[in-house]
């Protein structure tokens, strides 16, 4: 049973870089899945930020591509998110998740519990 | 960029059926096996309930079913129960290898 757990600062200052870690347990991050980050501003809907394969291949949401970086550490079974130049609109619950993707389909079959990040001075 | 449109809210009484629609703005968004659905009760993480338009993961009740017609995918919940009250999101995988989410639909069980 795969489990995902996000961690990182709950408060980030405007213009700083948001950094989060996702610990993956119960399943190897080197498997045939894509590892995703999704966020949800308070009271609003879900926004897919991007996903990464253990080889380093990655796809980002075009609206965030200039500010987002995703990476993995296969030795520690972890994935990472960095979002630069944050503003108040980046305040959200951030989820890490496992995505089952092929050339014809992609869906998220496991989610972390999420971590709230507030951008404020 | 294509978008997915869902009704903001739907409601039904216990035992009734409700259907939530998800309409894509272009033909490549809602097609083939690209659509999935997620249930998010208040204060919890989303949970996959339908994938590849019609398939249910293990443990999801058969009351939840998916379908597709043209540019619109639909989630039907039969025999509504109080525990079904949640936000529901559709998602689609585009030809650009990007995941899109619909705006979400709040289901109220009256």
Q: pLDDT of A69-96, one tens digit each? A: 999 999 999 999 999 999 999 999 999 9
pLDDT at B30 over 70: no
Task: Chain A: give the shortest CA distance to residue B81, in Å.
Answer: 23
Strands A34-40 and A92-101: antiparallel
Question: Is residue B64 a contact partner of residue B70, using CB atoms and an 8 Å limit?
Answer: no
Q: pLDDT of A19-71, one tens digit each? A: 999 999 999 999 999 999 999 999 999 999 999 999 999 999 999 999 999 99
HSE-up (13 A, CA, CB side) for residue B61: 11
Considering only residues B96 and B31, tell me which one the structure prediction assigns the higher pLDDT.
Answer: B96
B106 contacts chain A (CB < 8 A): no
Question: Is residue B4 a contact partner of residue B103, using CB atoms and an 8 Å limit?
Answer: yes
For residue B3, the cross-strand partners are none
> Which tokens is B78 given?
């039969």
Most distant CA atoms of chain B, gap in Å: 40
Contact B89 A95 (CB under 8 A): no
The residues, ordered by sequence, that sit 6+ positions from B92 with a Cβ below 8 Å of its Cβ are B4, B22, B24, B29, B30, B34, B35, B36, B73, B99, B100
B32 contacts chain A (CB < 8 A): yes
Question: Is residue A50 a contact partner of residue A116, using CB atoms and an 8 Å limit?
Answer: no
């Amino acid at each position: 049973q795969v489990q995902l757990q996000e961690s990182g600062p709950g408060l980030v200052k405007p213009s700083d870089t948001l950094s989060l870690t996702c610990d993956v347990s119960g399943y190897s991050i080197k498997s045939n899945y894509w590892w995703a980050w999704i966020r949800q501003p308070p009271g609003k809907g879900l926004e897919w930020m991007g996903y990464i394969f253990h080889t380093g291949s990655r796809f980002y949401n075009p609206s965030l591509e200039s500010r987002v970086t995703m990476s993995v550490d296969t030795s520690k079974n972890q994935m990472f998110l960095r979002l630069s130049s944050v503003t108040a609109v980046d305040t959200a619950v951030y989820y890490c998740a496992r995505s089952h993707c092929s050339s014809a389909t992609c869906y998220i079959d496991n989610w972390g519990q999420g971590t709230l990040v507030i951008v404020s001075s | 960029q294509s978008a997915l449109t869902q009704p903001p809210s739907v409601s039904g009484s216990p035992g009734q059926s409700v259907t939530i629609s998800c309409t894509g703005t272009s033909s490549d968004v809602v097609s083939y096996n690209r659509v999935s659905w997620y249930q998010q009760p208040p204060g919890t993480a989303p949970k996959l309930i339908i994938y590849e338009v019609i398939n249910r993961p293990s443990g999801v009740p058969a009351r939840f079913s998916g379908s597709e017609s043209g540019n619109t995918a639909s989630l039907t919940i039969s025999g509504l129960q109080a525990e079904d009250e949640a936000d529901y999101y559709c998602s689609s995988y585009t030809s650009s290898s990007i995941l899109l989410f619909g705006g979400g639909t709040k289901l109220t069980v009256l």
